[in-house]
Each structure stands twice: as C-alpha cells, then as structure tokens.
Amino acid sequence: MTQEDAPLGEFDLIRRFFTDIGAARSDVELGVGDDAALLRMPSGADLVAAVDTIVAGRHFPDGSDPRSIGHRALAVNLSDLAAMGATPAWATLALTLPSVDAGWLERFSRGLSDLAGAHRVALVGGDTTAGHLTVSVQILGHVERGTALRRSGGCAGDLLLVTGTLGDAGAGLALVRASHTTGDAAAAAALIQRFEYPSPRVEFGIAMRGIATAAMDLSDGLAGDLPKLASASGLAAHVDIERLPLSAALSAVTDLQQARDWALGAGDDYELLLAVPPRNCEKAVSIAARLNLRLSAIGELRPGGGVTWALNGRESAPPGQGFDHFRRASTQITV
C-alpha cells in the first residue's frame, strides 16, 4: 500500500487538508494544531461572530461537488459578515464526514481555501467527526466600534436597495434537481454556478457603513427576509415587484412569473438588502459601480408595520401566499 492509499487518520487528515488554509495573517498568533487558536483583535474594534451549518440533503443536494460544498459553507458565513459591514478575518470549521475520502477532501478543501484566500480569511481551527455529512463554519471578523450595520437602523423614507440579481440560485437549484429544464445550456450553467458558488458581497457591505441605515443578507428569499428587516426597524416596507432585478440567464430559462417567484421565495442568493436614505443613494450607486455590482431600488421603508407588494402600481397579493418553508424551491429549511 502506498502512502496515498493508506487510510488517513484524523491527525493526517487535518494536517493534509486543513492546515494553512486561506490567508497567512499576522494577527494569527496560533492557528490549527493546539487546543484553541489565539487571535489578535485590532484596537477599537468590535468582534463580529457568526456560524452557519449546511447539511447534505437539506442545504445542498446529496452528491454535490465537494468544491462547491467547501465554497458555500464559507460563503454563507461571509455573507452574514457582509450584512454587518464587518471585515472577515478568521474561520473555524466543524466537519462531520460519513467516511474519509481523500479525493473528496481535496476538492472540499480547495473550495474552502480559494474563497478564504480571496477574502483574506485564515482557517484557524476546527473539529472533525464521523457522521452524516454536515459542515459548520464559524466566521470571526471585526468592525470599527459603533459602525456595524444592523437590521434595526432603517428610517421611514429610506429606499430599499438590493445588490446583484435575485432568483438565480433558486433556478440553479431547480436545474440541478431537474425539477426545471431548459434548452439553453449556457444560461443553465450560469444559474447553477450562482447556486453552487455564491459571491458574498463583503466589500460592498463594508463600504455601506455610514451610508446604509440597515442591512441584511438574503438567504431565505426577499419575501421571507424583508419582513425581518422591516420589523427590526419598527417600520413597514413596500416593494414594487416589477423592479426586482432579474438576470438575463434567469429570463432565458423561464417566464416572468416563475422568475419573480424564484426571486421572491427561493432563497440562497446571498445578495444584500439595504435601507439607504435618499441623500446617500448616489454614493451607494457609485460604490456599486466601482465594484462592478448591480444595485437596484425595489421599494422603500414607510411608517407603520408589515410589508406591502405592488405590481405595476396595483396592490398585489403578498407573494408566496401559502408559502411553506418546508415545500419551497430552496433546500434550506428554516426551523
């Protein structure tokens, strides 16, 4: 048996796949290898922490490319930090594996490592156990004290802006599962890419400090997420459905109604939803342009409570009436 074929012990596995992952950072006093990591916080900063778990068969289809699983596990966490306007720095990984497969681990580790490197995040620790495939990443970062974006800061009259396009990941997942089909192979590939490799809007989130009054990331779909921002801000929200940003790829694979349903209800887009006072909108637009990021105004915050929806100026039924988290297009189950 060659070294390559020998069964990997836990120690070898950690050394081979999870040591020196992501950026080398001078604020990591001690990373993988001891009982805990030692990290140096910049002075005058708040520590920002978030954790998200993705489970095979729930948050991604069984048999998904492990490179995508590694990417998504970190991306969903980076997206949470983006929504706070925080700078990500360190991550820990709790990995539960049904078996040790070196080829699988290699691709998983590459997906994680490429995205970590791109955002200057260092993997500083973790835990490895046997069981149903479950990936839990904790992200740690920092934000200058007093400047973090929250869901609760919105003001009546603020415009609601969203980055990128909505509904692509929902369509991508439906295509992966073959519950939706199309003859347009290029559009299908682009949409599947959006599901498998979400792009957390970290730079834009950081730049929105002092410009947006409130922010959150869209993981569960606008129809599910917007009420959370509105109620945290103690306000009503209004959305004009015809202003939802839809990609050319999405429009190429389906009709407008289905595209809007995915945009509102499918989730997994990991775009940012922001409340921005009209006086700051020009700044937000120019920052988005500099980052090559689409930014669309879709509605506004108003006095009162609840969310209203209109289509071409006519009040519309709340999208996703009878919308059921356990039957939605996304694999994400919110409990």
What residues contact 170, with CB distance under 8 A and at least 6 apart?
Answer: 195, 221, 262, 263, 265, 266, 267, 268, 269, 329, 330
> Nearest residue by C-beta to Mg ion?
35
Considering the complex, state which of residue 14 and residue 169 has its C-beta at the smaller distance from ligand ADP: 14
Among 22, 28, 32, 161, binds ligand ADP (CB under 6 A): 32
Question: Alpha-carbon distance 173 to 17, whole Å?
Answer: 28
Q: Which does 250 bind (CB under 5 to 8 A by kind): Mg ion, ligand ADP, none?
A: none
235-259 burial string, b = 16+ CB within 10 Å, else e?
A: bbbbbbbeebbbbebbebbbeeebb
Binding segment for ligand ADP (CB under 6 A), chosen from 56-64, 121-129, 158-166, 286-294, is 121-129
Q: Which is nearer to ligand ADP, 112 or 246 (CB)?
A: 112
Under DSSP, is residue 273 helix (H, G, I), strand (E, B) or coil? strand
CB closer to Mg ion out of 93 and 266: 93
In angstroms, rounded to a whole number, what is the distance separating the alpha carbons of residues 308 and 248?
Answer: 27
Torsion sign, CA atoms 197, 60, 216, 263 = positive
Q: Which two tokens stand for residue 113?
A: 């490592």
Q: Which of Mg ion, ligand ADP, none is residue 239 near (CB under 5 to 8 Å by kind)?
A: none
Pick between residue 36 and residue 317 the one whose CB is nearest to Mg ion: 36
CB of 39 to Mg ion, least distance (A): 17
**Residue 14 touches ligand ADP, criterion: CB under 6 A:** yes
To the nearest whole angstrom, how small is the minimum distance from the Cβ of residue 26 to ligand ADP? 19
Look at residues 107, 112, 144 and name the one whose alpha carbon lies nearest to residue 32.
Answer: 112
Nearer to Mg ion, 1 or 36 (CB): 36
Among the residue ranges 32-40, 278-286, 300-308, 309-317, the one whose residues contact ligand ADP (CB under 6 A): 32-40
Closest distance of CB 2 from ligand ADP, Å: 24
Neighbours of 42 (CB within 10 A): 11
**Strand 159-163, strand 295-302: pairing:** antiparallel
- Positive or negative CA dihedral for 326, 197, 181, 243? positive
282 touches ligand ADP by CB under 6 A: no
Smallest gap, in angstroms, from Cβ of residue 122 to ligand ADP? 11
Q: Which does 32 bind (CB under 5 to 8 A by kind): Mg ion, ligand ADP, none?
A: ligand ADP
Q: Which is nearer to ligand ADP, 129 or 152 (CB)?
A: 129
Alpha carbons 262 and 330: distance in angstroms, whole number: 9
**CB of residue 125 to Mg ion, shortest distance in Å:** 10
Rounded CA-CA distance 81/78 in Å is: 5
- 14 contacts which partner out of Mg ion, ligand ADP, none, CB within 5 to 8 A by kind? ligand ADP
* Closer by beta carbon to Mg ion, 4 or else 35: 35
127 lies in the binding site for ligand ADP (CB under 6 A): yes
Position 70 contacts ligand ADP (CB under 6 A): no
Binding residues for Mg ion (CB under 5 A): 35
**Total of chain residues touching ligand ADP, rule CB under 6 A:** 13
Interface residue with ligand ADP, options 76, 82, 93, 159 (CB under 6 A): 93
Q: Is residue 251 within the footprint of ligand ADP (CB under 6 A)?
A: no
Strands (E), the chain: 28-30, 38-39, 45-55, 87-97, 122-130, 134-144, 159-163, 214-218, 236-240, 271-276, 295-302, 306-311, 314-316
**Interacting residues of 136 by C-beta distance below 8 A, sequence separation 6+:** 51, 52, 53, 54, 73, 93, 94, 95, 96
Contact residues for ligand ADP, defined by CB under 6 A: 14, 18, 32-35, 93, 95, 123, 125-128
